[in-house]
Amino acid sequence: MTVVQFTLLATVLFSLGLYGVLTRKNAVLVLASVELMLAAVNVNLVVFDVYLQDALHAGQIFSLFIIAIAAAEVGVGIAIVLLIYRNRQSADVDQLRSMRG
């Protein structure tokens, strides 16, 4: 197994996630795309951890942290989407323009 194959996979996942963030209209789907990007990052971290045979396993530990944080983030994010839906009766990100300059 080469390192490159894993990192290429991570790259593809990341860019697909980016495409989703930029493209999707529904707030929940934007969050889902963000999840994809985070997963890609995790793949990278773990691969390098295994490749380097890190005694501290810092890559894996860090990826655990990322997973936890991503979960917290999604929790808060869904709560916000909920609030927005309650106020505007829509989860369309295009409607969220009040910060318009």
Partner 1 sequence: MACDRSPTPGGGELMTVDLSSWFSEVANWVFLIIAIPTVFGAFKTVTSQNIVRSVLYLVVSLAGVAALFITLGAEFVGWTVVLVYIGAVIILFLIGIMITRAPLGTKADLSHGSNVKVPAALLSVVLAGIIGWSMVDAFENTMIEPFDPTSTSDLADIMFTRFVIPFEVLSILLLAALIGAIALARRDEEDEVNR
Partner 2 sequence: MMSTLFTFATQIHLAAEEGGHSDGAEELSGFIDSGPIVEWAWLIFVVPLVAAFLIVLFGKKSPFKGWLMAWLSMGFVMVYGTVLLILNWTQGVVYYNQITVGEIGDLVIEWGVAVDGLSIMMYFLVGVVGFLVFTYAKGYMKGDVRYTWFFASFSLFAGGMLVLVASPNLIQLIVGWEMVGVSSYLLIGHYWEDYANVDAANKAFMVNKIADAGLFLGAIIMAVSVQSFRFNDVIDVVVRGEAGMLSQYAFWAGLLLFIGAMGKSAQFPLHVWLPDAMAGPTPVSALMHAATMVTAGVYLLGRLFPFYFSDMFAGDVRNIIIVVGGLTLFLMGFLAITQKDIKKVLAYSTVSQLGYMVAAMGAGAYTAGLFHLFTHAFFKSLLFLGAGSVIHAVHSNSVDDMGGLRKYMPKTYWTFIIGTLALIGIFPFAGFFSKDEILASMKYAGGNGQDVANFILVLGIAGAFVTAFYMTRMVALTFFGEYKGHGEPHESPAIMTWPLIGLAVFATTAGWLNIPGMFTPFTDWVATRVPLVGLGDHHPEGFDIPLILIVTPLVLVGVGIGWWLYGKDRDTQAERDSFRIPVLWPLWQNLYYIDDFYMAAIVRPTKGAIANAVLWFDLNVIDAVVNGVGAASQVLARVTRWTDEDVVDSIYNGAGALTEASGSVLRRNFSGRVQQYAAFSFLGVVAIAVLFIVL
State yes or no: residue 70 binds partner 1 (CB under 8 A).
Answer: yes
- Dihedral angle computed from the Cα positions of residues 97, 92, 78 and 30, in that order, rounded to the nearest 10 degrees: -90
Site pattern 65..84 for partner 2 (x: CB under 8 A):
--------------------
The Cα–Cα gap between 10 and 48 comes to 12
Q: Which residues pair with 92 in a beta bridge?
A: 26
Q: According to CB under 8 A, which one of 18, 64, 66, 91 is a site residue for partner 2?
A: 18
State yes or no: residue 14 binds partner 1 (CB under 8 A).
Answer: yes
Phi, psi of 56 (to 5 degrees): -85, -10
State yes or no: residue 101 binds partner 2 (CB under 8 A).
Answer: yes
Residues that bind partner 2 (CB under 8 A): 18, 21-24, 30, 93-94, 96-101
